[in-house]
Amino acid sequence: MAKFRGIARPDAGNDLRVLRRWLWGLGLLLLASGGFWLWVTWPNGAASPPGVQPRDEPAYATPAEQHFTSIDPPPTPPPLAGAPETCDGRDAPEGAAAANAASLSSLAWSPFGKPETGWEIYAPRIAAEIGTTCGPGSNGFASALARWQGAHGLRGTGVVDPAVFGTMLVRWHLARPFVRVNREGMCPGAPPEASLALAGPKESYGGKAIRLRPGALEAYRKMVAEARAAGALPRPESLTIFSGFRAPDADAQRCARDKNCQGLRRTICSAHRTGLAMDVVIDAVPGSRPDSSADANRLVMARSSVYRWMVVNAPRFGFVNYAYEPWHWEWTGEPLLPGVPISSLPQEGSEPITEPADQPTSETPAYGSAARNRR
């Protein structure tokens, strides 16, 4: 018996261990299949569709998670096809539409530090922000603006004024990862030039070699294909690129040459160093360059089908715009690269920074000029 027990005990122990292992196995299998079921059925569990940005907001100091995505909430969806937006806006605040219609071309203000008259240049951007397709002087526009004001802690006057615009401008600035990093006193890094992709001849304006980070170029191509299919591109030049990646060295050289590095017109830290920013042809007064920031030029852009399509649709492809420059767009689909403190860059001739801006380049030909290269 002793021998039997001696053998029997281990046998019984084995049975128990086998049973325990079997139960563990069954439990793990149930867990795994339950997990899989959750994964396939959980809302939004799958990868985001193209153009939809996750809402994470990592700090600049963590290079591993440097994905600065747009924090701009998606604009109010436009009315469904078949249910056209009515612009009679019966709930519009009294007198708001008339006030907007008058100020559209007469408001005296300085939204970007220099005096401007009227706000029509910004009307497409404002309309996209408040989610309306109604004209800026309509009751429908005033009504949509009043709703937007209410949703953003402002009095619902339905009237465009510098304070309302200022609130929108902060949101638009903060939607740009580049600006958010700049506000922390940092200038993002430049990608290795060998990693950049070259735009095709038909994608470049003025025959320049345009280089961008490959993801940005791919997103640009998808966006242009859709804009073309939507009939929003009236000319062969529409949305061609006249500036992409610009090496930090070039910025530094120009800075030293001009003795002017930081300001509305000149900055040592240009968004174009990221390889994610691009300047595209929107429109221009004949004879003007497509990056001329003359108000008359920007007004032509604001009235164009290209810009109107872009302000509504480009965010779906991950692009954000600098409101002062209808031509300047930054792609937010990939992280900015770790950078350096702006204070470590050359400061010669600096002015107080109002907003990082483009430096118009003399090589960019005028729009409508005979000299331009149509490639």
* Side-chain half-sphere CA neighbours of 367 within 13 A: 24
Is the CB of 130 or the CB of 277 nearer to Zn ion?
277
Site string for Zn ion, 312-351 (x = CB under 5 A): ----------------x-----------------------
| Alpha-carbon distance values, 284 to 101, 123, 294, 318, 326 (Å) | 24, 17, 10, 25, 11
Q: How far is the CB of 145 from Zn ion (least distance, A)?
A: 29
Binding mask 68-107 for Zn ion (x = CB under 5 A): ----------------------------------------
Minimal distance in Å, beta carbon 169 to Zn ion?
A: 18
Q: Which of 120, 129, 203, 279 binds Zn ion (CB under 5 A)?
A: 279
70 or 270, CB closer to Zn ion?
A: 270
The minimum distance between CB 164 and Zn ion, in angstroms, equals 26
| Long-range own/partner contacts, residues 252-259 (CB < 8 A, 24 or more apart) | 252/345, 252/346, 254/359, 255/346, 255/348, 255/349, 256/346, 256/348, 258/349, 259/348, 259/349
Which span sits near Zn ion by CB under 5 A: 22-30, 33-41, 259-267, 273-281?
273-281
Nearer to Zn ion, 53 or 270 (CB): 270
Which of 273/328 has CB closer to Zn ion?
A: 328
Please, which residue, 107 or 190, has the CB nearer to Zn ion?
A: 190
Report the run of H or E that residue 280 belongs to, with start and end.
strand 277-280
60-63: Cβ within 8 A, 24+ apart: 60/180, 60/181, 60/184, 60/186, 63/338
Tokens of 155: 């009095």
Interface with Zn ion (CB under 5 A): 279, 328, 358
